[in-house]
Every structure is written in structure tokens, then in C-alpha cells.
Structure 1
Amino acid sequence: MARKILLSALSALLVGAAGAALAQSASAPASGPAPAHLTAALADPVRPAADVSRDAVRKPAELLAFAEVKPGQKVADFIMGGGYFTRILSAAVGPKGHVYAYQPDEFIKFQASYGENQTKVVGDYKNVTASRESLGALDLPDGLDLVFTVQNYHDLHLTPFPKEWAGQVNAEIYKSLKPGGLYVIVDHAATAGSGLEPAMKVHRIDPAIVRQEVEAAGFKFEGETQLLRNPEDPLTASVFDPSIRGRTDQFAMKFRKPK
């Protein structure tokens, strides 16, 4: 019975998720040019055409500049999905860097393509290592420069999952980052004060909850970017609702592990 409830919850989250794009408001302020190593990463010929077609909306170079991605770093793509950012991160950190692509066992059991996507990315990039343990048993490598997660933090609060998982995940990420390392979180925004209910119902989360939980793990809030905000989003519709899909208001926060 518990498995049936979990799969039902994941179904609402995952159906069509591979095609969902990060929101970009037309009124968002322009940003400066991205570093050359990031624009070069976008030009990587191994990237699928479907990924490239989403770049204008997802703003990956600007977002990874905010995350301070540099050649030679060790980074984790936490809940990699289809591998859109894993591929870019791989090219951005280069042959002297490494990317750890994490896909939860819970997602792979629900939909085999999540495991297949992970296998394909690892096959395409020599500096990518796959991991796929349960969210409740997350064990990232130590000494990471960055843990990067996009549209996934709210998943930690799906009601079928144990309530303590979010805290456990944040603690593991804190442990795995080197002193001074960054934890960058991008997700769909929910209405302020709405609690955790939107995580399950509409796949959003109140940014204040994210900040509170991550700071409770020991991180220091470094700042956020308005790159993906959309003030026209009412914040109440499901992120898969055609009225807002691909145009959701999204926050991007940066946290640092103290040195």
C-alpha cells in the first residue's frame, strides 16, 4: 500500500517533467556576459539538440555563473533528471574536474527512463560518475566544491517520504562539501506562508522554508538571483498546468559551508 501511494505521488511529479523548462520572466534584469568556459560548455557538440533548444529559457550559463562553476571543480548534480545540467557541468568543469550525477532510486524504480538517462550521460562523458541510492541513504563523495539542484528540493517533502529526509539530505550535503563549498538550489516558488502542502499538491515550495532548513544544517545564506523570477505567476497552480508550465516563478539561492 505504501509503495502504491509513493508511486502515485511520483507520477504527478514526473509525468512530463523532462519537457518542463525553468521559468524566465520577461521583466527580469539583464545579466552580464557569462564566463567563456560556460558559453563553451553550451557549445559542446555532444549535447542533444533538444537540450540546446531549451537554453534560451533555462539560462544555464548565467545560472552556473551564479553557482561559481569553474574548471577543475568537483560538483554534484543532485537529482539529475534527464541530465540537462549534468552535461553542461561536465563540459564546464573539464577533464580535470568531475561531476557526480545523482538519480534517486525511488525515481528510477518508478520510471526506468530515469536510470536510462543516467546511463547515457555517463557513457557520453568520461568525467561523470553515477550514483542512485535511496534519498534516505544519500552518500555523496566528500570534498565537493558544489552541490547543484534544479526543480528538486520540494521533492524532499513529498508526503510519502519520511519527514526527516529533508534534514538528512541537507546534513549529508553539508558533510560532503569542502569548507567554503556552495549549495545552490533552484525551485518553483510557492506562496509565502503556505507551508509544505504545495510540495505535494502543485510541486512548489515557499523559499523561506528552503532557507530555514538549509541554514539549520549549518549553511550560510550567500544570496539569490532574480534571473528566473516571474512576478506574473500566481504561485498557486501546478507547475504542470498549461496556464503556467514553462513560465513559473523560480527562485535560485546560494548557500556556503563556512570555512
Structure 2
Amino acid sequence: MRIRSNTGKIASVLIVVLSLLVTIPVAYAGDADALAATLSSGDRADADKVRDAGRKPAEVVTFLGVASGMTVIDLIAASGYYTEVLSVAVGEKGKVYAQNGAFVLKMREGANKNDNKELHRMTKAQAVKSVTDAGFEIVAEGEMLRNSEDDRAAYVFAEGMRGNTDRFVLKSRKP
């Protein structure tokens, strides 16, 4: 029996959902350079700073309009990489809620033995359909994580591929 997980699909939609729960834009909105400087000079772990090159957190957060004083949620926070980035972006007056479902906290027997290529390679069309089927509309598409050299054939966690996959960012809103 093949065990399927929605973790990959849900994680792909994470950035979309972050844009839905914001409230008061102020400081970093539109200023990715200022946020990037703050992220690189802070007390963040060196490993997270290295990951910034592929994840481009300042560009993503700025694109989504996350700024000082906002309240946001990090769905499927996992190890908290984006939770920390969002905390810097919203500042002392903002709030970040980090959420992890049981499927994130407990490995499922047999999951690592399956070909999970489909689960880790959600297409933009699939994400758009999921978001619009849930009653949201796409208001912008970010290109900052696109990688035209990724032919989508390699396992996303393979050495050299992790953090370098062709990804997309969707900003949506509930009409």
C-alpha cells in the first residue's frame, strides 16, 4: 500500500497563505534590501543565513507585503526558518503564529520508501487551482524563486538540488 502525504502540496501553498493574514503594513514593505541587511546582521544561525541565498526571504516577504506591526501565520513552520524571518519583518509590535500539524511532527512508516516525485513537484497550475478552488483570487505572481535550469526531474532533496529547484510564489486574497 502506498502512503501518500499532502505535506509537499501544503508546503507549496505556504507562501500563498502567509499573504492572507496580514494587517498593518509599515516598515519593510517594498524595501527588500533593508530587510536583507537586518537578516544578515542579526543573531540568526549561520546555517539559516546560508539558506537565504536560495530562499531569498527578504524578496519573498517584501513581495507579499509583510511589514512591521502585522500579524501573520507560518503554516507548516517545520524547523521555524520562515517563522524567524517573519518575526524580524513584523518586528516587536507584530505577531507571528507558527503552526505544525501532526503530519510534520511524526514521520510516517514507509513514506521515505515511496517515489514522492509528484508530492514534491506541485506545478503552478495545481497551486493556482487549489487556491482558487478555495475561494481566493491570485493578485500577483513572484518570479524571484524561478530557476529555468531545473528540468524538474531530480529529487528536490538531492545534493545540489535542495534550495535550487524551480519554485513559484503566489500572492492571493479572499474577495
TM-score bracket relative to the smaller structure? 0.7 to 0.9
**Alpha-carbon spacing, 1:95–1:44, altered in 2? closer, same or farther (3 Å):** farther
Map of 1:25 onto structure 2: none
The aligned residue for residue 107 of structure 2 is 110
In structure 2, which of residues 115, 118, 122 is the aligned counterpart of residue 199 of structure 1? 118
The structure-2 alpha-carbon separation of the partners of 1:234 and 1:207, relative to structure 1 and needing over 3 Å to count, comes to: same
Query: Which amino acid is the alignment partner of residue 252 of structure 1?
Result: V
Task: Note the 1:130-149 alignment, pairs <5 A.
Answer: none
Cα separation, 2, equivalents of 1:220 and 1:257: 6
Which of the two has greater strand per residue?
A: 1
Within 1, Cα distance between the matches of 2:104 and 2:158? 21
| Matched residue type, 1:221 | I
Q: Is the 8 A contact 1:41 1:92 kept in 2?
A: no
Give the counterpart of 1:97 among 89, 94, 97.
94
Q: Distance in 2 between matches of 1:244 and 1:209?
A: 22
Aligned letter for 1:245? R
Structure-1 residue corresponding to 2:69: 72
Preserved contact between residue 70 and residue 93 of structure 1 (Cα < 8 Å): yes
Pick closer, same or farther for the CA change 1:243–1:56 going to 2, 3 Å: closer
Q: Rate the CA distance shift 1:86–1:78 in 2: closer, same or farther, 3 A.
A: same
The letter for the 2-side match of 1:207 is K
Using the size of structure 1 for normalisation, the TM-score is 0.50
RMSD: 2.6
**Could you tell me how far apart the structure 2 residues matched to 1:232 and 1:40 are?**
28
CA 244–40 in structure 1, closer or farther in 2 if over 3 Å, else same:
closer
> Counterpart of 1:69 in structure 2: which amino acid?
V
Shift of 1:214: 0.6
In the alignment, does 2:142 pair up with 1:225? yes
Show structure 2 runs of 5+ residues with no match: 9-29
Contact map agreement 2:51 2:163 (CA 8 A) in 1: no
Percentage of pairs with the same residue? 42
Quote the residue 1:62 is aligned against.
Answer: 59
Q: In 2, distance between residues paired with 1:244 and 1:86? A: 23
Tell me if the contact between 1:44 and 1:91 (Cα under 8 Å) persists in the aligned partners. no
Normalising by structure 2, what TM-score?
A: 0.72
Distance 1:50 1:81 in 2: 15
Q: How many residues align?
A: 146
Per-residue CA deviations over 1:42-73 (Å, capped at 9, x if unaligned) read 14633111111222222111111011011111
Higher relative contact order (CA 8 A, sep 6+): 2
**Alignment partner, residue 162 of structure 1:** none
26, 34, 37: which is aligned to 2:32?
A: 34
The equivalent position to 2:132 in structure 1, one of 203, 210, 215, is 215
Question: C-alpha deviations, 1:120-178, integer Å up to 9, x for none?
Answer: xxxxxxxxxxxxxxxxxxxxxxxxxxxxxxxxxxxxxx9xxxxxxxxxxxxxxxxxxxx
